[in-house]
């Protein structure tokens, strides 16, 4: 299984990072639709796409407006966009307003609320709500061969016992870390994570591998290789990185 990192920044793009977008090409799953979406066409391997939105903040949805060009370059039979109903409604009302992007997007809108686990073409997708201004959701993908990936972005890292259990023992935990430890106050104020908080969460849920995403575009996160708070391999992902798991 491969994870292609198409956009790894939080908030806005930088010279080296676009905003949140990941592709699992074998499954046709796109995690968030940030500005990194423009990198999608040559990487698509499936006849349909499932774009799953963590929430509707601009750095996670701007790339939906790139879909016309993406599908012109690489047509697929169907694009489904998954998210909480209020987030999908906000995208449809505001992002595709005549005054902002006056074209109906060629997608099927699929609200999550109807089901806590969704059977996608080659895996089960489940979700849990997270604390973040306006609310966001984390996703977990479980494949039939036992592999699993959890994507948790735009979250303050506060999780109840059920959520920690749900996140536990994934092959890959792709977790946001927008702030460094000395910016803890900003993390709390904006509903994001700082390094110490991600260390706490990862120790509780024990993934085989921890990938840090939603990187602050003006003050890049730095990892100390001797940081003993992490009990598993941890790395900061970058645009263009392909992760095998
Ligand atoms: Zn964000
Ligand atoms: Zn957000």
Residues with CB under 5 A from ligand 2 (ion): 57, 154
CB atoms within 10 A of CB 222: 8
Pairing mode, if any, of strands 108-111 and 117-120? unpaired
Q: What is the pLDDT at residue 114?
A: 77
What domain range is 28 assigned to? 2-244
Looking at the structure of the chain, the number of domains it has is 1
Q: What is the pLDDT along the chain (245 residues), one digit of tens a residue?
A: 999 999 999 999 999 999 999 999 999 999 999 999 999 999 999 999 999 999 999 999 999 999 999 999 999 999 999 999 999 999 999 999 999 999 999 999 999 987 899 999 999 999 999 999 999 999 999 999 999 999 999 999 987 899 999 999 999 999 999 999 999 999 999 999 999 999 999 999 999 999 999 999 999 999 998 999 999 999 999 999 999 99
- Residue 208 sits in a domain whose CATH number is 3.60.15.10
Q: If you measure from the C-alpha of residue 114 to the centroid of ligand 1, how many angstroms do you get, rounded to a whole number? A: 25
pLDDT of residue 139: 98
For residue 113, the model assigns a pLDDT of: 86
pLDDT at 134: 98
Question: Which one of the ligands is nearest to 32 CA?
Answer: 1
Find the 171 Cα to ligand 1 centroid distance in Å.
23
CB-based burial, 191-206: b 16+ in 10 Å, e otherwise: bbbbbbbbbebbeebe
Please give the distance, rounded to the nearest whole angstrom, from the Cα atom of residue 50 to the centre of ligand 2. 20
């Amino acid at each position: 299984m491969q994870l292609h990192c198409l956009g790894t920044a939080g908030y806005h793009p930088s010279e080296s990072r676009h905003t949140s977008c990941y592709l699992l090409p074998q499954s046709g799953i796109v995690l968030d639709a940030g500005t990194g979406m423009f990198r999608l066409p040559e990487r698509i391997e499936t006849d349909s796409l499932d774009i799953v939105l963590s929430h509707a903040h601009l750095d996670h949805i701007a790339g939906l407006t790139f879909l016309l060009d993406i599908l012109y370059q690489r047509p697929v039979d169907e694009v489904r966009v998954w998210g909480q109903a209020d987030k999908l409604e906000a995208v449809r009302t505001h992002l595709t307003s005549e005054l902002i992007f006056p074209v109906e997007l060629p997608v099927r809108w699929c609200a999550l609320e109807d089901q806590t686990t969704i059977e996608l073409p080659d895996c089960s997708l489940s979700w849990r709500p997270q604390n973040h201004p306006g609310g966001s959701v984390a996703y977990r993908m479980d494949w039939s061969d036992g592999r699993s990936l959890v994507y948790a972005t735009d979250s303050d890292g506060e999780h109840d016992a059920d959520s920690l259990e749900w996140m536990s023992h994934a092959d890959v935990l792709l977790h946001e870390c927008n702030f460094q430890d000395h910016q803890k106050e900003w993390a709390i104020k904006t509903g994001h994570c700082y390094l110490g908080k991600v260390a706490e969460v990862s120790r509780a849920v024990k993934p085989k591998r921890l990938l840090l995403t939603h990187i602050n575009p003006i003050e890049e996160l730095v990892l100390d290789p001797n940081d003993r708070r992490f009990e598993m391999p941890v790395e900061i992902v970058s645009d263009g990185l392909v992760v095998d798991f």
